[in-house]
Amino acid sequence: MTLEQGFSPNLSSNNGLTRQLKRDKLRAVAVIGLGYWGPNWVRNLYQGHRVERLICCDLDANRRQHIERQYPAVETTDSLEKVLHDPEVEGVVVATPVSTHYSIARKALEAGKSVLVEKPLATSAREAAHLVQLARANNVVLMVGHTFEYSAPVMKIKELISSGELGEIFYISSVRANLGLFQRDVNVVWDLATHDVSIILMLLGQMPQAVGCHGQSHYANSVEDVALLALHFPNKLIAFIHVSWLDPNKIRRTTIVGSRKMLVYDDTAIQEKIRVYDKGVNVHRYYDTFGEFQYSYRYGDIYIPRLEETEPLKTESEHFVDCVLGLDEPRTDGLNGLRVVTVLEAANRSLRYGGKPVPVDDTYQVDGYETHSPTQILVYR
């Protein structure tokens, strides 16, 4: 494989798909992993009525029985191999623990199935890039479950930033904290910060140049339960992400400060999740003394945009079905997953270096070939 064949910089976001299947239902979709999150996929696919056969796979008999009781019409199995050998299965949703994403997604792509992998896509950029490559080689869809990119508040914020309403973005500060759910196989960065990194990259449409991350583990050795990330972008733009499984309160709050306006997004609010503050700082030249400035502060109105809220996972699962049918192109495709994993990997490296900012890798290896980084293949709509 040459570099050009594998990862040319202008590869768009559709995994190179050329298939045109003009149906509105899939013959069969399988959900792998029926723990905490997988059943939400089962519910949405079941209620969406766009799948003729729904196959639910888990190694744990109790989890399969849980689904059988709720959805007597779905099929269940403990065998991934059986799922992958079923010629009717067109799409596979991987909702297993993070450390298993790569191996399960790889097998599914090699079997010629379109795949949605829950966040994060994989545990290294190398693995993520390999999945992107496999999807292209097999001409199938690869999507990643960055659910917040399908949520009404995040889409509204993207619209506000793109329209220039907030002005130049100075910084973003995000907190995602609660008590639990502790993961065994990945730390809090790979678990919770994935959401914030995906949201921030979507909102800003660019990759950070460097990432710093401090964290600490209090219960399991080397599995950090609290962390603070700093993403350094060009032009002094910075984003902070504080994530914790050890917080007395459930907090899901993002503050975005721009040169014209400021915005607070509280995802725990039942209503009025976004507030736009017409607040800011005006800088005046202080003419008595050359070179000095004085500041005045603007306290204007607060505006609450109206949001048409639907369950983000419903939008995402309908989109996955559309993409597998060839009716649409993935909004959160493999490259999107690769970009997020690249940032998480840099954060993890910084953690091991005691918080020192590390550059976001410019190149990495896929099957022995050096490829260009996701920064060079950014395609945002």
Interface positions with ligand NAD (CB under 6 A): 32-38, 57-60, 63, 80, 95-98, 100, 104, 118-119, 145, 147
Minimum distance of ligand NAD from residue 280's CB (angstroms):
33
Write the CA distances from 314 to 68, 94, 272, 318, integer angstroms. Answer: 21, 16, 21, 6
Q: Which is nearer to ligand NAD, 96 or 114 (CB)?
A: 96
Minimum distance of ligand NAD from residue 156's CB (angstroms):
19
Q: Which is nearer to ligand NAD, 165 or 247 (CB)?
A: 247
Minimum distance of ligand NAD from residue 227's CB (angstroms):
16
Minimum distance of ligand NAD from residue 146's CB (angstroms):
7
Which 3 state secondary structure label does DSSP give 4? helix
Peptide bond into 120 cis (omega under 30): yes
Write the CA distances from 234 to 75, 91, 206, 210, 237, integer angstroms. Answer: 50, 39, 9, 9, 6
Q: Which is nearer to ligand NAD, 244 or 373 (CB)?
A: 244
Q: Which is nearer to ligand NAD, 100 or 375 (CB)?
A: 100
**Residue 299 in tokens:** 């306290």
Which residue, judged by CB position, is nearest to ligand NAD in the bound state? 35
**Residue 273 in tokens:** 């999740």
Q: Which is nearer to ligand NAD, 145 or 357 (CB)?
A: 145
Minimum distance of ligand NAD from residue 219's CB (angstroms):
17
Which 3 state secondary structure label does DSSP give 269? coil
Minimum distance of ligand NAD from residue 300's CB (angstroms):
35
Minimum distance of ligand NAD from residue 35's CB (angstroms):
2
Tokens 């403990």, residue? Answer: 78
Q: Which residues contact 171 (CB under 8 A, 6 or more apart)?
A: 237, 238, 239, 240, 256, 257
CB 173 within 8 A of CB 240: yes
Q: Which is nearer to ligand NAD, 52 or 185 (CB)?
A: 185
Q: Which is nearer to ligand NAD, 169 or 188 (CB)?
A: 188
Torsion sign, CA atoms 66, 71, 72, 78: negative
Phi and psi torsions of 255, nearest 5°: -110, 130
